[in-house]
Amino acid sequence: MSADRQPSHIAALEAGGTKCICAVGRTPDELRLLANRLEVPSDSGPQQVLARITAWLSTQHAREPLQAIGIASFGPLDLDPASPSYGSITSTPKPGWRNTDWLGEFARTLPGVPVAIDTDVNGAALGEWQWGAAQGLDDFVYLTMGTGIGGGAMVGGRLVHGLLHPEMGHMRVPRIAGDDFAGVCPFHGDCWEGLCSGPALQARTGTAAHGIAADDPAWGYLLRYTAHAIGNIVCTLSPRRIILGGSVRKAGALGEAAYFAGLRRELQRSLNGYVTSAALRGNDEGGGIDDYIVPPALGDEAGVCGAMALAQRRVALQP
């Protein structure tokens, strides 16, 4: 975007496992305004969600033309531009959402408006890189723990796609002795997501995350499994920072601060001094582990701001 031009008018769609948030504006601040956004529960299914969102966006577009649409969606997604199902959800365990064609639907209802699409977590990573906790860092990971668990990664300033896109939540972790919870992932049972997502916590305790007592052993399990998973990410991607968003981090009666403190301690235990870096040490003088695993600076707006960042980049790349 050239300096003398006003920022583009953009639609940002964050499609999450619990709700889909659509917002329009020119800046992250504008996205937050109530008049500029629509929220639809994901459980109402893709037909309903798409119908409401495209109707609302058509009204917005008639009022002031949208210059791009950014979609940051849960997955797995087909992100291969050469594929016939490019821009669709593929093998999701989420009932009804398989083969939802985001890109096709927007191309049909808002023809001529360029659409950028990536995973919810790659989008959130880009948003945090542009406006949040990853500014100035070209190698970092954005994780979300909520209805599902996912991770987006930037390496050398580029979002990681490769064969498909990362699916970090489905990583396998060692089981803790004495824990016989089977896990809830329909594909893998006790992968990280199967053990530590919001629905997993609910299945384990019979209570939603926000209702679990601070001394419930579920938190200890969750922190130790998550520390092993994050340790595996450190061993594989060697990120300079890990941003952890999603609803689970709010950790009910345990609280977000205790959750992050526990996670940092358990990560140090899991790595056991093998990865030698000041970034993973105690935080007495700053720059240590307290700055290594952090919540998103954009808070719960990381996803929708990320969708805007995806769209802005798309507009900037246009001739």
CA distance 223 to 139: 24
- The one-letter amino acid code at 72 reads A
Is 313 near a second copy (CB under 8 A)? Answer: no
Tell me whether residue 137 or residue 253 sits nearer to a second copy (CB atom): 137
Assign residue 92 a region (left: φ > 0; alpha: ψ between -120 and 50; beta: otherwise): beta
Tell me whether residue 6 or residue 272 sits nearer to a second copy (CB atom): 272
Q: Which of 9, 165, 264, 314 binds a second copy (CB under 8 A)?
A: 165
Phi, psi of 228 (to 5 degrees): -65, -45
Q: Which of 51, 164, 258, 297 binds a second copy (CB under 8 A)?
A: 164
What are residue 244's DSSP bridge partners? 143
Tell me whether residue 26 or residue 161 sits nearer to a second copy (CB atom): 161
Q: Which of 235, 256, 283, 316 binds a second copy (CB under 8 A)?
A: 235
Tell me whether residue 206 or residue 273 sits nearer to a second copy (CB atom): 273
Interface with a second copy in residues 168-187 (CB under 8 A): 168-175, 187
CB of 38 vs a second copy, minimal distance in Å: 30
CB of 18 vs a second copy, minimal distance in Å: 21
Give, for 11, the enclosing helix (H) or strand (E).
strand 10-15
Q: Which of 24, 153, 304, 305 binds a second copy (CB under 8 A)?
A: 153
Which token pair is 8?
């583009």
Query: The sheet that has 19-25: what strands, in order across it?
Result: 37-41, 19-25, 10-15, 68-73, 115-119
Tell me whether residue 40 or residue 159 sits nearer to a second copy (CB atom): 159
- The one-letter amino acid code at 45 reads G
CB of 93 vs a second copy, minimal distance in Å: 8
Interface with a second copy in residues 32-71 (CB under 8 A): none
> What single string gives the DSSP state of each residue in 5-54?
SPPPPEEEEEE-SSEEEEEEESSHHHHT-GGGEEEEEGGG-HHHHHHHHH
Tell me whether residue 156 or residue 319 sits nearer to a second copy (CB atom): 156
Is 283 near a second copy (CB under 8 A)? Answer: no
**3-state class (DSSP) for residue 172:** coil
Tell me whether residue 160 or residue 297 sits nearer to a second copy (CB atom): 160
Is 123 near a second copy (CB under 8 A)? Answer: no
Which token pair is 35?
């008049």
Strands, DSSP E only, in 190-281? Answer: 242-245
Assign residue 110 a region (left: φ > 0; alpha: ψ between -120 and 50; beta: otherwise): beta
Footprint of a second copy (CB under 8 A): 76, 78, 90-91, 139, 151, 153, 155-156, 158, 160-175, 187-188, 190, 228, 231-240, 270-277, 279
